[in-house]
C-alpha cells in the first residue's frame, strides 16, 4: 500500500490531524511535537490520543511521524542546550509511546566548530541516555543538506552515530530527498546507486521514512530550500522513480513542500497517480 501524507499543524491535536489527512486523500502525516522553535509542549491530552488511536485503526493510518523541534541541537557545545535537548527528547518519546504507530524524527545537530567527531559523540551520548530497551517508538535520524556545520551531511556520519548507540535497534533513518540531493547524492540520475551506497554504509533495513520534497537549488548546493513537487531541480520524473523504487515503495512518504492544505491535496493526488500498484 502506498503510504503518503504531508506535514500538518498539531495545534488542534491528533484527532484533528487524523481527520485532516484523510480529507486530503492521505493515510499518514507528520507534525511537530511542539513549537518548532522549541519551548514547552502543550499539556498532555490523553483523551485526544485515545480518540485518535481509535480513528487511526478505523481509517487505516498505521504509521505517523513526529518531528522534534528543528532548533534542538544535541551536538551543541553549550551544556545547557544539550540538557534541554535531552529533556525534550525524553518527554516527547514518553508521550509518543501512547500514540499508535508513531516514530520520532530529528535533525542530528550542528557541531558549531567543534568538529564532526565531537558532534557525533555528543549526539550519541544523548541517544544513549534517552533510549530505553522497553520503548517501541523508533527514533529516526534525518539526512541533512550539509549547510553550515550540520551533522548528518552524508551516510557515513549517520552510520557513525548509529555505531555509537547501544540500543541501535531503536534507531532508524529518514531520507529527505531535498536534503540528500542538496548534499550531493544524485537521486535524479543514479537513484539505485545512491540507495546501494546507503545499504552498504548504513543498511537499507534502517531506512524507515522519506521526506519527499523538490529542491529550489541545483544539485549539491548544500542549501536546504524545499520546493513543490515538480517545480524544482529534482522534478516529477525522478519522484515517480523514487516512490516506485523497490527499496522505497513500502515506506511512508511525507511532503514538506511549501504548500497550503489545498496544495498538499493536489500533490498527494499527483503522487498517488504516479504510484504503480503491483501484484494481487
Ligand atoms: Fe526535518
Ligand atoms: Fe525533512
Ligand atoms: Zn529541509
- pLDDT per residue of the chain (280 residues) written in tens, 0 to 9: 999 999 999 999 999 999 999 999 999 999 999 987 767 888 899 999 999 999 999 999 999 999 999 999 999 999 999 999 999 999 999 999 999 999 999 999 999 999 999 999 999 999 999 999 999 999 999 999 999 999 999 999 999 999 999 999 999 999 999 999 999 999 999 999 999 999 999 999 999 999 999 999 999 999 999 999 999 999 999 999 999 999 999 999 999 999 999 999 999 999 999 999 986 5
CB atoms within 10 A of CB 115: 12
Tell how far the Cα of 144 is from the centroid of ligand 1, in angstroms. Answer: 8
Query: Rounded CA gap, 93 and 111, in Å?
Result: 24
At residue 163, φ and ψ (nearest 5 deg) are: -60, -25
Tell how far the Cα of 107 is from the centroid of ligand 1, in angstroms. Answer: 6
Ligand nearest to the CA of 254: 2
Structural domains of the chain, ranges and CATH numbers in brackets: 3-274 (3.20.20.150)
Ligand nearest to the CA of 104: 1
Query: Rounded CA gap, 167 and 163, in Å?
Result: 10
Ligand nearest to the CA of 211: 2
Q: What is the pLDDT of residue 279?
A: 66
Query: Rounded CA gap, 246 and 262, in Å?
Result: 30
Alpha helices in the chain (DSSP H): 14-23, 46-59, 79-96, 116-130, 155-164, 177-182, 191-201, 236-244, 261-274
* Residue 164: C-alpha distances to residues 75, 154, 157, 160 (Å): 14, 16, 11, 7
Tell how far the Cα of 210 is from the centroid of ligand 2, in angstroms. Answer: 8
Tell how far the Cα of 47 is from the centroid of ligand 1, in angstroms. Answer: 28
CB contact at 8 A, 59 and 18: yes
Tell how far the Cα of 18 is from the centroid of ligand 3, in angstroms. Answer: 24
Ligand nearest to the CA of 71: 1
Q: What is the pLDDT of residue 106?
A: 98
12 Cβ contact list (under 8 Å, min separation 6): none
CB atoms within 10 A of CB 262: 9
Q: What is the pLDDT of residue 38?
A: 67
Tell how far the Cα of 54 is from the centroid of ligand 3, in angstroms. Answer: 32
CA 182, chain centre distance (Å): 16
Tell how far the Cα of 89 is from the centroid of ligand 1, in angstroms. Answer: 15
Ligand nearest to the CA of 145: 3
At residue 34, φ and ψ (nearest 5 deg) are: -160, 180
Query: Rounded CA gap, 142 and 28, in Å?
Result: 18
Tell how far the Cα of 109 is from the centroid of ligand 3, in angstroms. Answer: 13
Grid cell listed for 98: 501512547
Query: Rounded CA gap, 60 and 240, in Å?
Result: 24
Tell how far the Cα of 106 is from the centroid of ligand 2, in angstroms. Answer: 9
Ligand nearest to the CA of 210: 2
Tell how far the Cα of 254 is from the centroid of ligand 1, in angstroms. Answer: 10
The residues whose Cβ lies within 5 A of ligand 1, an ion, are 142
Tell how far the Cα of 48 is from the centroid of ligand 1, in angstroms. Answer: 25
Q: What is the pLDDT of residue 36?
A: 73
Tell how far the Cα of 278 is from the centroid of ligand 1, in angstroms. Answer: 30
In which element (H, E) is residue 212 found?
Answer: strand 207-212
Tell how far the Cα of 152 is from the centroid of ligand 2, in angstroms. Answer: 12
Amino acid at each position: 500500500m502506498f503510504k503518503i501524507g504531508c506535514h500538518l499543524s498539531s495545534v488542534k491535536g491528533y484527532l484533528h490531524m487524523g481527520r485532516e489527512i484523510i480529507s486530503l486523500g492521505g493515510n499518514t502525516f507528520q507534525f511537530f511535537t511542539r513549537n518548532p522553535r522549541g519551548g514547552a509542549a502543550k499539556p498532555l491530552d490523553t483523551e485526544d490520543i485515545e480518540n485518535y488511536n481509535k480513528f487511526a485503526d478505523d481509517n487505516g493510518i498505521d504509521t505517523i511521524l513526529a518531528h522534534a523541534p528543528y532548533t534542538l541541537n544535541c551536538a551543541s557545545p553549550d551544556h545547557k542546550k544539550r540538557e534541554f535537548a535531552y529533556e525534550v527528547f525524553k518527554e516527547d518519546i514518553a508521550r509518543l509511546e501512547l500514540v499508535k504507530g508513531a516514530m520520532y524524527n530529528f535533525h542530528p545537530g550542528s557541531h558549531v566548530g567543534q568538529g564532526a567527531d565531537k558532534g557525533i559523540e555528543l549526539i550519541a551520548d544523548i541517544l544513549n541516555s534517552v533510549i530505553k530497551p522497553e520503548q517501541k517508538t523508533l527514533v529516526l535520524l534525518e539526512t541533512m543538506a550539509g549547510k553550515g556545520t550540520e551533522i548528518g551531511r552524508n551516510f557515513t556520519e549517520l552510520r557513525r552515530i548509529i555505531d555509537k548507540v547501544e540500543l541501535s535497534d531503536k534507531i532508524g533513518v529518514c531520507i529527505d530527498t531535498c536534503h540528500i540531493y542538496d548534499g550531493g547524492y544524485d537521486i535524479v540520475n543514479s537513484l539505485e546507486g545512491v540507495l546501494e551506497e546507503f545499504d552498504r554504509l548504513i543498511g537499507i533495513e534502517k531506512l524507515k521514512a522519506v521526506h519527499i520534497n523538490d529542491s529550489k537549488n541545483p544539485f549539491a548546493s548544500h542549501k536546504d530550500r524545499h520546493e513543490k513537487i515538480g517545480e524544482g531541480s529534482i522534478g516529477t520524473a525522478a519522484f515517480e522513480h523514487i516512490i516506485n523504487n523497490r527499496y522505497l515503495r513500502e515506506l511512508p512518504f511525507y511532503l514538506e513542500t511549501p504548500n497550503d492544505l489545498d496544495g498538499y491535496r493536489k500533490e498527494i493526488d499527483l503522487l498517488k497517480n504516479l504510484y504503480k500498484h503491483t501484484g494481487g
